[in-house]
């Protein structure tokens, strides 16, 4: 007997199911209860409910409907294998083998055109997957087509497709459908013949689900099979294919079948349609009456979606939301209504007067829109709230705050009572972790949570790395990509590399000129000295000799790998060799058995097994064996390239985890999936954006079902609409909807999902507020763009944030005023000052304070490693190379250029010649000026001089280097900048003080383009030098306790002839912290200005004059011809 239970509450259905189990236990206690569900989430919830009610939930099986039915075929009918030979994955392999053999036939011309000549193996595998999925759908939803094709009766399929619609079809569509029916019929017969032949070789009979369905029904009609369960429960399923329902009806003739349908409406609603459907149907009839056809107004899919069966006058609209979103459930209800069954109604009104309860009761009672009897929305009613944010991150931040508010208002609410569903949970994972994982479990804001339904490729780094290794066939092996592999702990451990060694290798790669390519001689054009092989050879040579020792066998040593570091180089060499071996394998095609061996080789030779990696490696190993075994069972004997293997494995490894952590007592984040309408006190939906939900599905042009729509057909967008309806109905106390409602870039308003808009429109038309306010304004809450907005923390704001970490920034109380404060500790009391420390302080007092006093070293370079071929030498590399050339006492630099080429610092081929010529030409003028000094030996002078500073005398000690005949000479290949002038000035002052007389003015040469610059000064008296040094030393002593805010790089603007206003000077200071295409930002000034907004320009100007006024007056014209 078939028993149909209709209820709008899943808890009521659950109570009925448990009561049936308790009141009528199975006759044989060793037999298990059979409860069919559509998802593991529903099974998990039902287990917990049974255990809570009965104390234990044991000996209960929860198969899926398709698996249960095939199990019945296998047990009841003869020669039915345990595994379905026509399952989708098997069909894909059969089709991959068959399609190329059929392309010469005229009917397969569309496929031949798509696949190309010769057929692309990747396209072939993808096309086979699409067709396999199509045939799998036909077997369930169009079994009559399958039977007709087997009997070579394409006309029957065409008749089913056209069914009186030829007059509305264009001639082109008519021809395309005839062609599609022809090649699909031939292809199906070829697949069937192949599977039948293989089954015959194994001594079995070839039958698919469409054939087995009829045979099984005949068997059931004849007698009761021995393998039927005593009773069967079907629970939490919103829709079933008609053939499955027929099967359960037949089973019900021999055992009790209890089917529970979570019906949102207590009245029959199988014929209601939404108003949009009615309008389009009426348009179709009007056009047909006026013009005799609708082809120019409606496309073919629309014509199929709005069939003209003459029933428009009898169709009802009912509740507009139920009509608009309920197609999947409506079709299933219609199929159930055709069944002979014992129907039991167990509906219950939703208690309470909240807006959510009123909405659910309106759907339950099939109430049409009735503005004259509106819902009442109280000002404190939070049962339905829609939240508009600026980004997914803000959505999650707002969600966390709103949940804390709910916990505050509802003492009995716990995390397990809340579910958060997202269209694609993987997209939100980083934001969820960033917000929810930032609090310690002892923090009152801590909310325990779990994320389910994640794809394996997104949730496990070993699986994603394994797939990355499969894509190395055409890889350039860029420096970043190879080093990225070593970031995986299990892969790193496989080559005995620890984290510290990995960091060392990253620095070495950047310094050693490694950019891309495994082999140095990968082509015949020019050796690649930026390849891994070249860099490895430089590292290996560096373990035995120094770079200064010169070129050895076309290789230059890399100094950093000298000595004990050689073992790290050996580990890197082993890793690179294994990558090269694997790439050679990937570049060849292999059969399935060979690929199985190669894939296991990757697991064994690239990943070290550990406690953390054991599960992932076992999972990969089993999945490799499973997919390869299935391909081998289909007798697929072709060779596959690595692109197809990646596609093949990626499809299997990208499956979701099945919700194995669902309902574990924590707040659950999961993907919006069908058949998961489990009741929760709070149901939250995130990411309900226009275009994101309902989820898009690209139409398949050769899917014939779309041209002949039948009740019960599954369409992704219809599934999503019904899922949205189920989510609303499963919320017991609060429905929380969130979407990105504003643009981050221009704050323009963005629209929510069309479903959210329909819900809002319905509630706005159907509701009124108790205070006469606007319904939309009360339902939709707008949030500031940032978490630290002041509005988030206003006391009167009922949605104020709990993120107290941002309160300081929100209220404008920044640490700016407290940032520059005197440091504690003893005052400076050391009698000796190192000149090098004084030099660094005077050149850049802000940087000196951060590094010396605070121990803070901010990076001034990009961590990203260059990984592309060099066509033009970078400005930095050009400067470094030029500076190195200017240190060489020769005019012929060919040997030096060869040295740099072997180091990987020059472009390849002709580009190197161009760079050499440009650099040589530019350096000619400066090299002539400094040539006399290169032939001399530089001397140095010790510094040991007492400087009186107020009441204290300090001993300045250090060394003045680069002295040529008593004059300090220095040069660089770039322009002379203010910091070079300051350094030269300091050396001049110190040398004068040390000599106790005016010293020879130092020269600092530079190049501005091709013009030689020379920094030098007028003669300086001993008194002026000592007085100026005393100023610097006094501030240096003070800097031990107090930061001196002085932008020394801008001294020419303060001490020169600049006519800039105060505002312009402040802007120039702020530019120090700005990144421009021509100048990188100073990280120390970035940090300072982010904490210290107010700058005292008067103090800065006075100190600039004290420090650099005399220097600016003494500085001579920078052109070299004035020297």
pLDDT > 90? residue 51: yes
Q: What is the pLDDT of residues 912-970, one digit of tens each?
A: 778 888 888 888 899 999 999 988 999 999 999 999 988 889 999 999 999 999 999 99
Average pLDDT over every residue of 779-786: 92
φ and ψ of 289, to 5 deg: -70, -40
pLDDT of residue 130: 95
Query: Phi-psi region for residue 236, left (φ > 0), alpha (ψ -120 to 50) or beta?
Result: left
Mean pLDDT, rounded, for 997-1007 = 94
3-state class (DSSP) for residue 970 = strand
CA distances from 946 to 179, 943, 1029 (A): 101, 10, 11
Instruction: Dig out the tokens for 678 from the structure.
Output: 């489990």
- pLDDT on residue 837: 95
Contact 462, 607 (CB under 8 A): yes
Nearest-angstrom CA–CA distance, 506 and 1071: 32
The string of DSSP codes covering 7-51 is ES-HHHHHHHHHHHHHHS--SSTTSPEEEE-S-HHHHHHHHHHHH
CA 357 – CA 671 distance, rounded (Å):
25
What is the DSSP secondary-structure string of 977-997?
-HHHHHHHHHHHHHHHHHHTS
826 pLDDT tier (thresholds 50, 70, 90): low
Q: Which two tokens stand for residue 1080?
A: 């990188």
pLDDT at 311 over 70: no
Averaged over 465-486, what is the pLDDT?
A: 92
Measured on CA atoms in the order 427, 428, 434, 440, is the torsion positive or negative? negative
pLDDT tens sequence across 684-699: 999 999 999 998 887 7
- Identify the band that residue 751 occupies on the pLDDT scale cut at 50, 70 and 90: very high
- Give mean pLDDT, residues 17-30: 92
Give the pLDDT band (50/70/90) at residue 841. very high
- Examine the pLDDT at 775 and tell me if it is beyond 70: yes
pLDDT at 846 over 50: yes
Name the residue with tokens 């620095």. 507
Task: For the beta carbon of residue 313, count every other beta carbon within 10 angstroms.
Answer: 7
- Token pair of 725, please? 């309806």
**Do residues 1029 and 990 make contact, with C-beta atoms less than 8 angstroms apart?**
yes
Helix (H) / strand (E) containing 3: strand 2-7
User: Percent helix, strand and coil across the chain, each rounded to 5?
Assistant: 50, 10, 35
Return the higher-pLDDT residue of 181 and 813: 181
Q: CB burial class (10 A; 0-12, 13-18, 19+) of residue 888?
A: middle
Q: Which residue has the higher pLDDT, 969 or 878?
A: 969
Q: For residue 821, what pLDDT is reported? A: 59
Considering only CA atoms, which of 612, 727, 754, 586 is closest in space to residue 670?
727
Residues 215-250 pLDDT 10s: 999 999 988 888 899 999 999 999 999 999 999 999
Tokens linked to 1083: 């990280």
Characterize the bridge pairing of strands 731-740 and 555-556.
Answer: unpaired
pLDDT attached to residue 815: 42
The closest of 1105, 1108, 1109, 1087 to 1097, measured between CA atoms, is: 1105
* Chain segment 1012-1055, per-residue pLDDT in tens: 999 999 999 999 999 999 999 999 999 888 899 999 999 999 98
Rounded mean pLDDT, 1063-1082: 84
Specify the length of the chain in residues: 1123
Mean pLDDT for 1086-1097 is 80
C-alpha 293/C-alpha 310 separation (Å) is 15
One-character DSSP codes across 795-823 = TT-TT----GGGHHHHTT--THHHHS---
Q: Give pLDDT, residue 310.
A: 44
Residue 611 pLDDT class (50, 70, 90 cuts):
confident
Q: Which residue has better confidence, 903 or 935?
A: 935
- With 80 as the cut, is the pLDDT of residue 386 above it? yes
The single-letter DSSP state of residue 548 is G
Q: How far apart are CA 438 and CA 445, in angstroms?
A: 10
Residue 296 pLDDT greater than 50, yes or no: no
pLDDT of residue 823: 63
1075 HSE (CA, 13 A, CB side) = 4
Strand spans (E) along 270-390: 342-345, 375-377, 384-389
- Per-residue pLDDT at 305 exceeds 60: no
Whether pLDDT at 295 is above 60: no
- pLDDT for 343 equals 94
Count of beta carbons in the 10 Å neighbourhood of residue 866:
19
Greatest distance between any 2 Cα atoms in the chain: 124
Q: Spell out the domains of the chain, with CATH numbers in brackets.
A: 2-80+214-262 (3.40.50.10930), 88-206 (1.10.10.160), 375-454+659-782 (3.40.50.300), 474-586 (1.10.486.10), 588-655 (no CATH), 784-812 (no CATH), 814-1123 (no CATH)
Flag whether pLDDT at 333 surpasses 70: yes
Q: Which helix (H) or strand (E) covers residue 783, if one does? A: none
The answer to whether 659 and 452 have CB atoms below 8 angstroms apart is yes
- First vs last Cα of the chain: how many Å apart? 111
How much is the pLDDT for 509?
86
β-strand pairing of 780-782 with 384-389: parallel
Lowest-pLDDT choice from 8-22, 597-611, 705-719: 705-719
Q: Which residues contact 381 (CB under 8 A, 6 or more apart)?
A: 354, 355
pLDDT value, residue 1109:
94
Query: In a 3-state reduction of DSSP, which class is residue 669?
Result: strand
**Among all chains, which residue has been given the structure tokens 């400067």?**
879
User: Residue 907 pLDDT > 70, yes or no?
Assistant: yes
| Measured distance CA(192)–CA(139) in Å, rounded | 12
Mean pLDDT of 860-881: 72
Residue 1122 has pLDDT above 50, yes or no: no
Torsion, Cα 299 300 306 307, to 10 degrees, reads 140
* Residue 807: count of CB within 10 angstroms of its CB: 14
Given pLDDT bands bounded at 50, 70 and 90, which one contains residue 661? low
pLDDT value of residue 468: 95
Q: Average per-residue pLDDT in the chain?
A: 87
Q: Output DSSP code: residue 368.
A: P
What confidence score (pLDDT) does residue 429 get?
94
For residue 867, give every residue at least 6 positions away whose Cβ sits within 8 Å of its Cβ, in sequence order, or none. 476, 478, 479, 480, 481, 515, 516
- Token couple for 73: 């075929």
Token digits for 758?
A: 């329909």
Characterize 627-649 residue by residue with b for buried, 16 or more Cβ atoms within 10 angstroms of its Cβ, and e for exposed.
bbebbeebebeeebbbbbbbbbb
DSSP 370-402: -TTS-EEE-TT--SEEEEEESSHHHHHHHHHHH
d(CA 354, CA 334): 31
Residue 820 has a pLDDT of 62
Q: Is the pLDDT of residue 165 over 80?
A: no
Lookup result for tokens 């190993």: 621
Q: Is the pLDDT of residue 369 over 60?
A: yes
Contacts of 905 by beta carbon, 8 Å cutoff, 6+ apart: 513, 873, 877, 880, 881
Say how far apart CA 376 and CA 837 lie, in whole Å.
Answer: 75
820-825 mean pLDDT:
60
């Amino acid at each position: 007997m078939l028993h149909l239970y209709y209820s709008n509450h899943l808890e009521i259905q659950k109570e009925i199911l448990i009561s049936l189990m308790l009141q009528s236990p199975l006759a044989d206690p060793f037999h298990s209860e059979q409860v069919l569900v559509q998802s593991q989430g529903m099974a998990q919830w039902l287990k917990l409910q049974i255990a809570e009610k009965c104390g234990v939930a044991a000996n209960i099986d929860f198969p899926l409907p398709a698996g249960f039915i095939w199990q019945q075929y296998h047990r009841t009918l003869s020669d039915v294998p345990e595994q379905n030979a026509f399952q989708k994955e098997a069909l894909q392999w059969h089709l991959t083998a068959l399609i190329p053999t059929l392309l010469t036939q005229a009917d397969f011309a569309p496929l031949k055109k798509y696949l190309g000549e010769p057929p692309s193996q990747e396209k072939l595998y993808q096309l086979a997957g699409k067709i396999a999925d199509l045939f799998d759908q036909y077997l369930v939803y169009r079994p009559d087509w399958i039977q007709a094709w087997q009997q070579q009766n394409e006309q029957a399929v065409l008749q089913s497709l056209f069914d009186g619609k030829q007059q509305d079809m264009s001639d082109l569509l008519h021809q395309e459908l005839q062609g599609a029916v022809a090649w699909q019929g031939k292809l199906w017969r070829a697949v069937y013949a192949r599977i039948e032949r293989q089954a015959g070789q194994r001594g079995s009979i070839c039958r698919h689900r469409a054939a087995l369905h009829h045979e099984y029904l005949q068997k059931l009609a004849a007698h009761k099979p021995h393998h039927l369960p005593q009773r069967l429960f079907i629970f939490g399923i919103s829709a079933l294919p008609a053939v499955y329902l027929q099967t359960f009806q037949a089973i019900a003739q021999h055992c009790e079948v209890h089917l529970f349908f979570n019906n949102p409406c207590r009245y029959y609603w199988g014929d209601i349609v939404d108003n949009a459907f009615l309008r389009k149907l009426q348009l179709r009839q009007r056009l047909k009456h006026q013009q005799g056809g609708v082809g120019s107004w409606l496309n073919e899919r629309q014509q199929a979606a709005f069939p003209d069966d003459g029933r428009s006058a009898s169709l009802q609209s009912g509740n507009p939301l139920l009509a608009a979103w309920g197609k999947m459930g409506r079709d299933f209800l219609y199929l159930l209504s055709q069944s002979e069954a014992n129907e039991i109604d167990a509906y219950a009104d939703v208690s309470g007067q909240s807006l959510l309860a009123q909405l659910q009761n309106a759907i339950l009672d099939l109430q049409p829109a009735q503005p004259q009897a509106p819902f009442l929305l109280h000002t404190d009613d939070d049962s339905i709230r829609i939240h508009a944010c600026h980004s997914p991150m803000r959505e999650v931040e707002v969600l966390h705050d709103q949940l804390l508010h709910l916990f505050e208002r509802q003492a009995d609410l716990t995390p397990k009572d809340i579910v958060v569903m997202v269209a694609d949970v993987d997209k939100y994972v980083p934001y969820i972790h960033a917000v929810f994982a930032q609090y310690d479990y002892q923090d009152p804001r801590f909310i325990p949570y779990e994320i389910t339904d994640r794809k394996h490729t997104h949730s496990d780094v070993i699986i994603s790395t394994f797939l990355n290794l499969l894509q190395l066939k055409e890889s350039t092996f860029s420096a970043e990509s190879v080093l990225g592999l070593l970031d995986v702990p299990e892969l790193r451990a496989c080559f005995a590399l620890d984290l510290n060694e990995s960091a060392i290798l990253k620095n070495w790669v950047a310094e050693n000129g490694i950019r891309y390519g495994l082999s140095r001689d990968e082509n015949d054009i020019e050796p690649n000295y930026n390849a891994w092989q070249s860099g490895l050879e430089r590292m290996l040579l560096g373990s035995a000799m120094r770079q200064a020792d010169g070129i050895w066998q076309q290789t230059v040593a890399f100094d950093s790998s000298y000595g004990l570091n050689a073992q790290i180089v050996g580990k890197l060499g082993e890793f690179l060799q294994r990558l090269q071996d694997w790439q050679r394998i990937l570049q060849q095609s292999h059969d399935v058995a060979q690929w199985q061996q190669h894939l296991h080789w990757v697991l064994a030779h690239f990943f070290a097994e550990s406690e953390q990696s054991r599960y992932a490696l076992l999972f990969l190993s089993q999945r490799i064996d499973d997919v390869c075994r299935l391909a081998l069972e289909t007798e697929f004997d072709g060779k596959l390239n690595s692109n197809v293997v990646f596609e093949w494995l990626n499809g299997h490894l990208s499956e979701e985890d099945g919700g194995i952590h669902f309902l574990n007592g924590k707040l659950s984040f999961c993907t919006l999936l069908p058949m998961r309408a489990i009741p929760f006190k709070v149901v939250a939906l995130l990411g309900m954006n226009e275009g994101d939900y309902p989820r898009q599905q690209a139409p398949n042009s050769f899917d014939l079902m779309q041209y002949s729509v039948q009740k019960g057909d599954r369409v992704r967008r219809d599934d999503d609409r019904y899922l949205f309806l189920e989510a609303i109905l499963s919320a017991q106390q609060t429905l929380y909807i969130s979407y990105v409602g504003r643009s981050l870039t221009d704050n323009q308003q963005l629209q929510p999902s069309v479903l959210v808009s329909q819900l809002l429109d319905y509630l706005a038309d159907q509701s009124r507020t108790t205070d006469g306010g606007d319904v939309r304004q009360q339902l939709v809450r707008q949030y500031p763009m940032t978490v630290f907005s002041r509005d988030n923390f206003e006391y009167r704001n009922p949605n104020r944030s709990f993120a107290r970490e941002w309160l300081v920034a929100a209220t404008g109380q920044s640490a700016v005023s407290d940032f520059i404060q005197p440091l504690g500790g003893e005052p400076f009391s050391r009698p000796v000052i190192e000149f090098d420390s004084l030099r660094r302080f005077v050149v850049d007092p802000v940087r000196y304070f951060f590094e010396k006093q605070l121990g803070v070293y901010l990076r001034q370079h990009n961590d990203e490693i260059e990984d592309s071929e060099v066509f033009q030498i970078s400005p930095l590399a050009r400067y470094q190379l030029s500076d190195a050339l200017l240190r060489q006492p020769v005019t012929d630099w060919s040997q030096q250029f060869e040295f740099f080429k072997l180091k990987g610092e020059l472009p390849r081929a002709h580009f190197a010649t161009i760079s050499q010529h440009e650099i040589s030409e530019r350096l000619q003028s400066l090299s002539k000026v400094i040539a006399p000094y290169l032939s001399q030996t530089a001397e140095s002078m010790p510094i040991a001089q007492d400087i009186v500073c107020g009441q204290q005398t300090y001993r300045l000690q250090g060394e003045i280097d680069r002295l040529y005949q008593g004059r300090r000479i220095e040069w660089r290949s770039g322009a002379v900048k203010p910091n070079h002038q300051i350094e030269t000035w300091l050396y001049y002052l110190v040398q004068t003080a040390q000599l106790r007389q005016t010293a020879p003015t130092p020269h600092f040469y530079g190049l501005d383009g091709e013009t030689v610059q020379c920094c030098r000064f007028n003669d300086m008296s001993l008194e002026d030098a000592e007085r100026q040094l005393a100023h610097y030393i006094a501030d240096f002593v003070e800097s031990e306790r107090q930061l001196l805010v002085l932008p020394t790089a801008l001294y020419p603007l303060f001490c020169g002839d600049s006519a800039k206003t105060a505002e312009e000077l402040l802007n120039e200071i702020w530019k120090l912290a700005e990144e421009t295409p021509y100048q990188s930002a100073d990280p120390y000034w970035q940090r300072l200005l982010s904490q210290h907004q107010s700058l005292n320009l008067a103090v800065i100007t006075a100190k600039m004059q004290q420090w650099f006024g005399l220097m600016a007056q003494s500085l001579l014209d920078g052109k070299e011809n004035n020297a």
